[in-house]
Amino acid sequence: MPILTLENAHACVTEALVRCGTGPAAAESTARALVGAEADGLAGHGLSRVPAYAAQVRAGKVVGRAEVAVETPRPGLLAVDAAHGFAYPALDAAVAHLPAMARAQGIAAAGIRRSHHCGAAGRPVEALAEQGLVALLFANTPAAMAPWGGARAVFGTNPIAFAAPVPGRAPIVIDLSLSKVARGAIVTARRRGETLPEGWALDAEGRPTTDPDAALAGTMVPLGEAKGTALALMVEILAAGLVGARFAGEASSFLDAAGDPPGTGQLLIALDAGAFSAEAGSRFALLAESIEAQDGARLPGSRRLALRARARTEGLTVSEALLAEIAAA
Protein backbone atom coordinates (compact mmCIF):
# COMPACT_ATOMS: atom_id res chain seq x y z
CA MET A 1 0.00 0.00 0.00
CA PRO A 2 1.15 3.58 -0.64
CA ILE A 3 2.95 5.47 2.11
CA LEU A 4 2.43 9.23 2.50
CA THR A 5 4.54 11.59 4.54
CA LEU A 6 2.51 13.65 7.02
CA GLU A 7 3.13 16.69 4.83
CA ASN A 8 1.88 14.90 1.70
CA ALA A 9 -1.17 13.59 3.55
CA HIS A 10 -1.96 17.09 4.80
CA ALA A 11 -1.69 18.51 1.28
CA CYS A 12 -3.86 15.71 -0.13
CA VAL A 13 -6.65 16.31 2.41
CA THR A 14 -6.47 20.09 2.13
CA GLU A 15 -6.69 19.98 -1.66
CA ALA A 16 -9.70 17.62 -1.55
CA LEU A 17 -11.57 19.85 0.90
CA VAL A 18 -10.82 23.06 -1.02
CA ARG A 19 -11.84 21.35 -4.26
CA CYS A 20 -15.28 20.56 -2.86
CA GLY A 21 -15.87 24.13 -1.65
CA THR A 22 -14.21 24.45 1.76
CA GLY A 23 -12.46 27.72 2.56
CA PRO A 24 -8.64 27.42 2.64
CA ALA A 25 -8.27 28.17 6.37
CA ALA A 26 -11.00 25.71 7.34
CA ALA A 27 -9.50 23.09 5.02
CA GLU A 28 -6.08 23.54 6.64
CA SER A 29 -7.56 23.23 10.14
CA THR A 30 -9.57 20.14 9.23
CA ALA A 31 -6.62 18.50 7.48
CA ARG A 32 -4.40 19.03 10.54
CA ALA A 33 -6.97 17.28 12.72
CA LEU A 34 -7.58 14.36 10.36
CA VAL A 35 -3.92 13.71 9.58
CA GLY A 36 -3.05 14.06 13.27
CA ALA A 37 -5.70 11.49 14.20
CA GLU A 38 -4.45 9.12 11.50
CA ALA A 39 -0.89 9.47 12.78
CA ASP A 40 -2.09 8.66 16.29
CA GLY A 41 -3.64 5.41 15.09
CA LEU A 42 -7.21 6.73 15.30
CA ALA A 43 -8.27 5.73 11.80
CA GLY A 44 -11.98 6.27 12.49
CA HIS A 45 -11.26 9.98 12.95
CA GLY A 46 -8.62 10.17 10.24
CA LEU A 47 -8.38 10.14 6.45
CA SER A 48 -11.40 7.85 6.08
CA ARG A 49 -13.57 10.87 6.95
CA VAL A 50 -12.50 12.89 3.91
CA PRO A 51 -14.97 11.48 1.31
CA ALA A 52 -17.95 11.96 3.65
CA TYR A 53 -16.80 15.44 4.66
CA ALA A 54 -16.38 16.44 1.02
CA ALA A 55 -19.84 15.13 0.11
CA GLN A 56 -21.37 17.08 2.98
CA VAL A 57 -19.73 20.33 1.86
CA ARG A 58 -20.97 19.80 -1.68
CA ALA A 59 -24.50 19.16 -0.39
CA GLY A 60 -24.44 22.18 1.94
CA LYS A 61 -24.75 20.04 5.04
CA VAL A 62 -21.42 21.53 6.10
CA VAL A 63 -20.92 25.21 5.26
CA GLY A 64 -17.49 25.12 3.67
CA ARG A 65 -16.87 28.85 3.97
CA ALA A 66 -18.40 29.33 7.41
CA GLU A 67 -16.97 32.17 9.50
CA VAL A 68 -16.40 31.25 13.15
CA ALA A 69 -17.73 33.91 15.55
CA VAL A 70 -16.41 34.29 19.10
CA GLU A 71 -18.17 36.31 21.81
CA THR A 72 -17.52 36.73 25.55
CA PRO A 73 -20.97 36.78 27.22
CA ARG A 74 -19.41 36.70 30.73
CA PRO A 75 -15.88 37.02 32.11
CA GLY A 76 -14.24 33.64 31.65
CA LEU A 77 -16.73 32.40 29.08
CA LEU A 78 -16.48 32.13 25.31
CA ALA A 79 -19.53 31.57 23.12
CA VAL A 80 -18.25 30.14 19.84
CA ASP A 81 -20.52 29.81 16.80
CA ALA A 82 -19.14 27.27 14.32
CA ALA A 83 -21.82 28.52 11.87
CA HIS A 84 -22.53 24.98 10.61
CA GLY A 85 -18.98 24.64 9.34
CA PHE A 86 -16.46 22.04 10.42
CA ALA A 87 -15.82 21.85 14.17
CA TYR A 88 -12.05 22.15 13.89
CA PRO A 89 -11.79 25.91 13.17
CA ALA A 90 -14.15 26.58 16.10
CA LEU A 91 -12.07 24.34 18.38
CA ASP A 92 -8.92 26.10 17.18
CA ALA A 93 -10.47 29.45 18.10
CA ALA A 94 -11.35 28.18 21.57
CA VAL A 95 -7.84 26.81 22.11
CA ALA A 96 -6.37 30.13 20.99
CA HIS A 97 -8.46 32.20 23.43
CA LEU A 98 -8.72 30.01 26.53
CA PRO A 99 -5.13 29.99 27.85
CA ALA A 100 -4.92 33.74 28.56
CA MET A 101 -8.39 33.73 30.12
CA ALA A 102 -7.64 30.71 32.31
CA ARG A 103 -4.32 32.15 33.49
CA ALA A 104 -5.97 35.45 34.40
CA GLN A 105 -8.93 33.94 36.26
CA GLY A 106 -7.87 30.39 37.08
CA ILE A 107 -10.61 28.85 34.92
CA ALA A 108 -12.30 29.55 31.60
CA ALA A 109 -14.76 27.71 29.35
CA ALA A 110 -15.81 27.76 25.71
CA GLY A 111 -19.20 26.57 24.50
CA ILE A 112 -19.36 25.75 20.78
CA ARG A 113 -22.71 25.59 19.01
CA ARG A 114 -23.87 24.86 15.43
CA SER A 115 -20.90 22.52 15.19
CA HIS A 116 -20.04 19.18 13.62
CA HIS A 117 -17.87 16.09 14.25
CA CYS A 118 -15.01 17.05 16.62
CA GLY A 119 -12.84 14.10 15.58
CA ALA A 120 -10.23 12.89 18.04
CA ALA A 121 -11.42 14.68 21.18
CA GLY A 122 -8.04 14.37 22.86
CA ARG A 123 -6.35 16.76 20.45
CA PRO A 124 -7.80 20.09 21.71
CA VAL A 125 -7.27 19.20 25.37
CA GLU A 126 -3.72 18.06 24.63
CA ALA A 127 -3.04 21.42 22.95
CA LEU A 128 -4.23 23.21 26.10
CA ALA A 129 -2.21 20.95 28.41
CA GLU A 130 0.91 21.74 26.39
CA GLN A 131 0.32 25.34 27.52
CA GLY A 132 0.14 24.42 31.19
CA LEU A 133 -3.61 23.94 31.55
CA VAL A 134 -5.76 21.10 32.82
CA ALA A 135 -8.50 20.69 30.23
CA LEU A 136 -11.79 18.87 29.70
CA LEU A 137 -13.83 18.46 26.54
CA PHE A 138 -17.42 17.23 26.29
CA ALA A 139 -18.93 16.67 22.84
CA ASN A 140 -22.34 15.43 21.81
CA THR A 141 -22.87 13.50 18.60
CA PRO A 142 -25.87 12.29 16.57
CA ALA A 143 -28.10 9.70 18.25
CA ALA A 144 -26.44 6.29 18.51
CA MET A 145 -27.19 4.95 22.01
CA ALA A 146 -30.48 4.14 23.70
CA PRO A 147 -31.06 5.00 27.35
CA TRP A 148 -30.46 1.99 29.60
CA GLY A 149 -33.50 -0.25 29.34
CA GLY A 150 -34.75 1.53 26.20
CA ALA A 151 -34.46 0.67 22.52
CA ARG A 152 -34.51 4.01 20.68
CA ALA A 153 -31.31 6.02 20.29
CA VAL A 154 -31.45 9.26 22.29
CA PHE A 155 -27.80 9.86 23.13
CA GLY A 156 -24.74 10.11 20.95
CA THR A 157 -21.55 8.22 21.65
CA ASN A 158 -20.63 11.54 23.31
CA PRO A 159 -16.85 11.53 23.80
CA ILE A 160 -15.18 12.95 26.89
CA ALA A 161 -11.53 14.01 26.84
CA PHE A 162 -9.15 15.18 29.56
CA ALA A 163 -5.55 16.34 29.59
CA ALA A 164 -3.10 17.46 32.28
CA PRO A 165 0.41 18.87 31.89
CA VAL A 166 3.35 16.91 33.34
CA PRO A 167 6.69 18.72 33.65
CA GLY A 168 9.36 17.43 31.30
CA ARG A 169 7.17 15.05 29.35
CA ALA A 170 4.06 14.82 27.16
CA PRO A 171 0.73 15.60 28.84
CA ILE A 172 -1.48 12.87 30.23
CA VAL A 173 -4.38 12.57 27.77
CA ILE A 174 -7.57 10.56 28.24
CA ASP A 175 -10.00 10.34 25.32
CA LEU A 176 -12.94 7.99 25.47
CA SER A 177 -16.28 7.42 23.86
CA LEU A 178 -19.25 6.63 26.09
CA SER A 179 -20.18 3.74 23.84
CA LYS A 180 -18.06 0.62 24.29
CA VAL A 181 -16.20 1.67 21.15
CA ALA A 182 -16.33 4.84 19.06
CA ARG A 183 -18.80 4.81 16.18
CA GLY A 184 -15.87 5.54 13.89
CA ALA A 185 -14.56 2.03 14.63
CA ILE A 186 -17.77 0.62 13.14
CA VAL A 187 -17.32 2.76 10.03
CA THR A 188 -13.71 1.61 9.68
CA ALA A 189 -14.73 -2.04 10.00
CA ARG A 190 -17.39 -1.59 7.31
CA ARG A 191 -14.86 0.07 5.01
CA ARG A 192 -12.44 -2.83 5.48
CA GLY A 193 -15.12 -5.48 5.04
CA GLU A 194 -14.58 -6.77 8.58
CA THR A 195 -17.07 -8.13 11.10
CA LEU A 196 -17.32 -6.59 14.55
CA PRO A 197 -16.34 -8.19 17.83
CA GLU A 198 -19.31 -9.31 19.88
CA GLY A 199 -20.60 -6.83 22.42
CA TRP A 200 -19.98 -3.64 20.44
CA ALA A 201 -23.38 -2.98 18.90
CA LEU A 202 -27.05 -3.86 18.57
CA ASP A 203 -29.16 -3.95 15.40
CA ALA A 204 -32.36 -1.97 14.86
CA GLU A 205 -34.33 -4.60 16.78
CA GLY A 206 -32.02 -4.40 19.79
CA ARG A 207 -30.28 -7.71 19.09
CA PRO A 208 -26.49 -8.12 19.35
CA THR A 209 -24.82 -7.92 15.95
CA THR A 210 -21.36 -8.27 14.42
CA ASP A 211 -22.47 -6.79 11.08
CA PRO A 212 -21.23 -3.18 10.67
CA ASP A 213 -24.19 -2.20 8.46
CA ALA A 214 -26.68 -3.56 11.00
CA ALA A 215 -24.77 -1.82 13.77
CA LEU A 216 -24.91 1.55 12.00
CA ALA A 217 -28.67 1.08 11.51
CA GLY A 218 -29.05 0.13 15.18
CA THR A 219 -27.48 1.36 18.41
CA MET A 220 -24.14 1.21 20.18
CA VAL A 221 -23.60 -0.69 23.43
CA PRO A 222 -22.79 1.82 26.20
CA LEU A 223 -19.56 1.77 28.13
CA GLY A 224 -20.27 0.47 31.64
CA GLU A 225 -23.92 -0.32 30.87
CA ALA A 226 -26.26 2.04 32.79
CA LYS A 227 -23.32 4.16 33.99
CA GLY A 228 -22.38 4.90 30.39
CA THR A 229 -25.83 6.18 29.50
CA ALA A 230 -25.90 8.32 32.67
CA LEU A 231 -22.65 9.94 31.57
CA ALA A 232 -24.05 10.37 28.04
CA LEU A 233 -27.00 12.26 29.54
CA MET A 234 -24.54 14.51 31.37
CA VAL A 235 -22.70 15.24 28.12
CA GLU A 236 -25.95 16.07 26.29
CA ILE A 237 -26.73 18.65 28.99
CA LEU A 238 -23.23 20.16 29.02
CA ALA A 239 -22.34 20.07 25.32
CA ALA A 240 -25.77 20.73 23.82
CA GLY A 241 -28.39 22.01 26.26
CA LEU A 242 -26.02 24.40 28.04
CA VAL A 243 -24.36 25.88 24.94
CA GLY A 244 -27.39 26.12 22.65
CA ALA A 245 -26.63 23.18 20.35
CA ARG A 246 -28.89 20.38 19.16
CA PHE A 247 -29.39 17.27 21.25
CA ALA A 248 -28.29 13.96 19.72
CA GLY A 249 -31.84 13.02 18.78
CA GLU A 250 -32.23 16.30 16.85
CA ALA A 251 -28.97 16.04 14.92
CA SER A 252 -28.44 14.57 11.47
CA SER A 253 -25.67 12.05 10.83
CA PHE A 254 -21.97 12.92 10.58
CA LEU A 255 -21.57 10.00 8.17
CA ASP A 256 -23.55 11.04 5.09
CA ALA A 257 -24.71 14.07 3.12
CA ALA A 258 -28.43 13.67 3.80
CA GLY A 259 -30.41 16.22 5.78
CA ASP A 260 -29.60 19.57 7.28
CA PRO A 261 -26.44 20.41 9.27
CA PRO A 262 -26.07 18.40 12.49
CA GLY A 263 -25.71 21.48 14.71
CA THR A 264 -24.11 19.57 17.60
CA GLY A 265 -21.99 21.17 20.31
CA GLN A 266 -18.86 21.00 22.41
CA LEU A 267 -17.91 22.39 25.83
CA LEU A 268 -14.22 22.98 26.50
CA ILE A 269 -13.06 23.84 30.04
CA ALA A 270 -9.53 24.97 30.93
CA LEU A 271 -8.01 25.40 34.39
CA ASP A 272 -4.63 26.93 35.20
CA ALA A 273 -2.65 23.97 36.57
CA GLY A 274 -1.02 26.20 39.16
CA ALA A 275 -4.14 28.03 40.32
CA PHE A 276 -4.55 26.05 43.55
CA SER A 277 -1.05 24.76 44.17
CA ALA A 278 2.35 25.60 42.73
CA GLU A 279 3.25 21.94 43.26
CA ALA A 280 0.45 20.55 41.09
CA GLY A 281 2.71 19.73 38.15
CA SER A 282 5.20 17.81 40.27
CA ARG A 283 2.33 15.98 41.94
CA PHE A 284 0.96 14.97 38.52
CA ALA A 285 4.43 13.64 37.64
CA LEU A 286 4.61 11.64 40.87
CA LEU A 287 1.28 9.96 40.13
CA ALA A 288 2.34 9.18 36.56
CA GLU A 289 5.59 7.64 37.79
CA SER A 290 3.77 5.49 40.34
CA ILE A 291 1.65 4.02 37.56
CA GLU A 292 4.52 3.40 35.16
CA ALA A 293 6.62 1.80 37.91
CA GLN A 294 4.30 -1.21 37.87
CA ASP A 295 5.08 -4.01 35.43
CA GLY A 296 2.41 -4.18 32.75
CA ALA A 297 0.85 -0.82 33.63
CA ARG A 298 0.96 2.21 31.37
CA LEU A 299 -0.49 5.67 31.19
CA PRO A 300 -3.36 6.29 28.76
CA GLY A 301 -2.03 7.57 25.45
CA SER A 302 1.38 5.89 25.46
CA ARG A 303 0.50 3.81 22.38
CA ARG A 304 -0.81 6.94 20.64
CA LEU A 305 2.46 8.80 21.26
CA ALA A 306 4.50 5.88 19.95
CA LEU A 307 2.43 5.70 16.76
CA ARG A 308 2.71 9.47 16.32
CA ALA A 309 6.48 9.33 16.57
CA ARG A 310 6.64 6.48 14.06
CA ALA A 311 4.36 8.32 11.62
CA ARG A 312 6.69 11.31 11.68
CA THR A 313 9.60 9.18 10.50
CA GLU A 314 7.88 6.44 8.48
CA GLY A 315 4.77 8.20 7.17
CA LEU A 316 1.21 6.88 6.89
CA THR A 317 0.17 3.72 5.10
CA VAL A 318 -3.02 4.48 3.15
CA SER A 319 -4.95 2.06 0.97
CA GLU A 320 -5.18 2.60 -2.78
CA ALA A 321 -8.97 2.50 -2.47
CA LEU A 322 -9.10 5.31 0.08
CA LEU A 323 -6.66 7.45 -1.90
CA ALA A 324 -8.86 6.98 -4.96
CA GLU A 325 -11.93 8.05 -2.96
CA ILE A 326 -10.16 11.15 -1.69
CA ALA A 327 -8.95 12.01 -5.21
CA ALA A 328 -12.53 11.66 -6.50
CA ALA A 329 -14.07 13.73 -3.69
Identify whether the C-beta of residue 34 lies closer than 8 Å to the C-beta of residue 50. yes
pLDDT tens, position by position, 3-43:
999 999 999 999 999 999 999 999 999 999 999 999 999 99
Half-sphere exposure of 87 (CA within 13 A, CB side): 30
Confidence band of 181 (pLDDT split at 50, 70, 90) = confident
For 127, other C-beta atoms within 10 Å of its C-beta total 20
Confidence band of 207 (pLDDT split at 50, 70, 90) = confident
Task: Report CA 261 to chain centroid distance, whole Å.
Answer: 17
- The mean per-residue pLDDT over the stretch 77-90 comes to 98
Q: How far apart are CA 314 and CA 185, in angstroms?
A: 24
Res 199: pLDDT = 87
For 81, other C-beta atoms within 10 Å of its C-beta total 20
Q: How far apart are CA 45 and CA 38, in angstroms?
A: 7
**β-strands 201-202, 208-209: how paired?**
antiparallel
First-residue to last-residue Cα distance in the chain: 20
pLDDT tens, position by position, 47-78:
999 999 999 999 999 999 999 999 999 999 99
Identify whether the C-beta of residue 162 lies closer than 8 Å to the C-beta of residue 136. yes
Q: How far is CA 128 from CA 185, 224, 267, in A?
A: 26, 28, 14
Q: How far apart are CA 60 and CA 116, in angstroms?
A: 13
Q: Is 5 helix (H, G, I), strand (E, B) or coil?
A: coil
Average pLDDT of the chain is 95
Q: How far apart are CA 194 and CA 217, in angstroms?
A: 16
Confidence band of 300 (pLDDT split at 50, 70, 90) = very high
Q: How far apart are CA 33 and CA 46, in angstroms?
A: 8
Backbone angles phi, psi at 143, to 5 degrees: -55, 130
Least reliable range by pLDDT among 32-36, 194-198, 259-263, 288-292: 194-198
Helix axis angle, 24-39 to 122-129, nearest 10°? 90
Identify whether the C-beta of residue 268 lies closer than 8 Å to the C-beta of residue 94. yes
* pTM for this entry: 0.94
Residues in the chain: 329
Res 11: pLDDT = 98
Residues with Cβ within 8 Å of 244's Cβ and at least 6 positions away in sequence, in order, are 111, 113, 265
- The mean per-residue pLDDT over the stretch 128-155 comes to 94
Q: Is the pLDDT of residue 180 over 90?
A: no
Helix axis angle, 6-19 to 320-328, nearest 10°? 30
Identify whether the C-beta of residue 144 lies closer than 8 Å to the C-beta of residue 179. yes
Give the CA-trace dihedral at 32, 34, 35, 36, to 10 degrees: 80
Res 257: pLDDT = 97
Identify whether the C-beta of residue 232 lies closer than 8 Å to the C-beta of residue 225. no
